[in-house]
Amino acid sequence: MTTTPTAPVPTPAPTVQRSWSGWRTLLVVVGAFFALSGVTLLALGGVGLWAQQQRDSDGYFTAGPERVSTSTYALTAPALDIGGAGPDAFYTDDFLGKIRIGIESTTSGTPVFVGIGPAADVAAYLEGVGHDEVADFAVDPFRLTTTARAGDKPATLPADQSFWVASGTESLNWTARSGDWSVVIMNADGSPKVDARLSVGGTLPAVEGVTIGALIGAVLLLLIGSAVVVSTTRG
């Protein structure tokens, strides 16, 4: 009787597994960092998109109106440094864009004047005039901290001055530019006891750029981080 030999069953080759080295751990950590940074930028972009919806019909972000008052002849914000170095660079003209200030007297009769002018010229005009200078302010709740400057009434009316870059008795519009500026609020007839409601708005063009940049960066970082983590763990 002839026996047919049985073919030997091939033994599968041993699976070579890649050891989990320190480099792989490092790559996972780096990938996770990129992905987490992408999530952070995505949240920032989401806030930016929400902020874009807060503009009014004219494209301004607006705060107020809030009540401002002084028993003196003027209320001033004496140091608006635009385009400076260091921390002041945050308030560049590219960031602020167009500025709108609305002013409305809370008492009948005398209208309230608001003007923006070079700080040196404003200081010279108010030299010897009783006024309050804004030293600090809080937003919620709104509150001004002022420093009183003793003096008499102004020799001339605010609207008669030629140094204003923007002024008005109901509102003013100004495209921000580099310089050292002051904002002044007075009764138009130069009388004391200013009492008004003030609103401030700005187009803030940088908000749109920051939002787009954050969303693009978020997508890139999420793609890079996910690719690094997946390729490393699957290997």
Q: Give, rounded to a whole angstrom, the gap between the first and last alpha carbons of the chain.
A: 54
In this structure, are 45 and 149 located in the same domain? no
Does residue 7 sit within a domain?
Answer: no
In this structure, are 90 and 127 located in the same domain? yes
**pLDDT category of residue 113 using cuts at 50, 70 and 90:** very high
Does residue 16 sit within a domain?
Answer: no
Which pLDDT score is estimated for 125? 92
CATH number of the domain at 167, please: 2.60.120
In this structure, are 29 and 97 located in the same domain? no
Of 23-27, 112-116, 173-177, the range with the highest mean pLDDT is 112-116
The more confidently predicted of residues 46 and 18 is 46
Q: Which two structure tokens, joined as six digits, stand for 54?
A: 């807060």
Match 């530019």 to its residue by tokens.
Answer: 177
Match 């921390």 to its residue by tokens.
Answer: 87
Mean pLDDT of all residues in 20-47: 75
In this structure, are 79 and 97 located in the same domain? yes
Which pLDDT score is estimated for 141? 66
Q: Where are the extended beta strands (E) located within 23-89? A: 61-70, 74-82
The more confidently predicted of residues 37 and 159 is 159
Count Cα neighbours of 81 within 13 Å in the Cβ-side half-sphere. 8
- Which structural domain, as residue segments, surrounds residue 179? 57-202
Does residue 28 sit within a domain?
Answer: yes
Does residue 17 sit within a domain?
Answer: no
**pLDDT category of residue 88 using cuts at 50, 70 and 90:** very low
Residues in Cβ contact with 144 at an 8 Å cutoff, skipping those fewer than 6 apart: 68, 134, 136, 137
Does residue 217 sit within a domain?
Answer: yes
104/85 Cα distance (integer angstroms): 35
Taking only the tens place, the pLDDT of each residue in 197-207 is 888 877 777 67
In this structure, are 46 and 79 located in the same domain? no
Mean residue pLDDT of the chain comes to 77
98/176 Cα distance (integer angstroms): 6
Q: Which two structure tokens, joined as six digits, stand for 11?
A: 């033994």
**pLDDT category of residue 121 using cuts at 50, 70 and 90:** very high
Does residue 1 sit within a domain?
Answer: no
In this structure, are 182 and 154 located in the same domain? yes
Number of domains making up the chain: 2
Residue 91 DSSP symbol: G
In this structure, are 157 and 229 located in the same domain? no
Which pLDDT score is estimated for 105? 81
In this structure, are 114 and 135 located in the same domain? yes
- Partner residues linked to 82 by β-bridges: 179
pLDDT exceeds 70 at position 174: yes
Output the CA angle 72-78-80, nearest 5 degrees. Answer: 145
In this structure, are 76 and 182 located in the same domain? yes
Q: Which two structure tokens, joined as six digits, stand for 81?
A: 């440094």
- pTM here is 0.64
Output the CA angle 61-66-69, nearest 5 degrees. Answer: 140
Does residue 196 sit within a domain?
Answer: yes
In this structure, are 229 and 167 located in the same domain? no
Of 5-14, 77-86, 152-161, 173-182, the range with the highest mean pLDDT is 152-161
Which pLDDT score is estimated for 85? 46
In this structure, are 31 and 92 located in the same domain? no
Taking only the tens place, the pLDDT of each residue in 213-231 is 777 877 787 787 777 777 7
Does residue 224 sit within a domain?
Answer: yes
Edge to edge, what strands does the sheet with 98-105 contain?
Answer: 61-70, 194-202, 98-105, 171-175
Mean pLDDT of all residues in 56-75: 80
Residues in Cβ contact with 134 at an 8 Å cutoff, skipping those fewer than 6 apart: 75, 76, 77, 78, 144, 145, 146
- Report the range of poorest mean pLDDT among 41-50, 89-98, 162-171, 208-217: 89-98
In this structure, are 170 and 143 located in the same domain? yes
